Amino acid sequence: MGLFVGTGIPLGAQTICLGLFRLALRFNVILALAFTWVNNPITVAPMYYGFYLIGSFVLNKPPVRDLHEFYLLIAPVLQSEEVLVAIRQFLALGSDVILRWFIGAFLTGIPIGLVGYFVTLRIQTARATKRASP
């Protein structure tokens, strides 16, 4: 869950999202919070730009911004110190950028989250089997 939220939810809204998901699903919240740090203020610009490029490709629209322009566009999101301000800044990017970003983030977040789930499941199953054996 943490990997999916870490890649598919904008920085600043991840903790809120995990709280909402926790109301409906069972998962280790502390581990999920740790895995949301797959993106952070250092890695977010290249990751978000990659999501934008993937969304542009899926929509068959040429990207209209390069990495530097994209970084300047999301700089207010990264520099905001409050969660609600960051969310407002993200929504101010414009529907075209957000749609491309969301499609790319979703298409990236699902497989990363699934890989994380199955790797974690395998580790936990091995640990439980080891504990159960004499």
Six token digits for residue 90: 């993200």
Q: Which residues of 4-15 are buried (b: 16+ CB within 10 A; e: fewer)?
A: bbbbbbbbbbbe
Cα–Cα distance measured from residue 18 to residue 95, given in angstroms and rounded to the nearest whole number: 24
Instruction: Please determine, for residue 124, whether its predicted confidence score (pLDDT) is greater than 80.
Output: yes
Share the mean pLDDT of the chain.
Answer: 85
Please report, rounded to a whole number, the percentage of residues in the chain having pLDDT higher than 70.
99
The two most distant CA atoms of the chain are separated, in Å, by 62
The pLDDT confidence band at residue 100, using thresholds 50, 70 and 90, is: very high
The pLDDT confidence band at residue 28, using thresholds 50, 70 and 90, is: confident
Cα–Cα distance measured from residue 110 to residue 60, given in angstroms and rounded to the nearest whole number: 21
Six token digits for residue 65: 């911004």
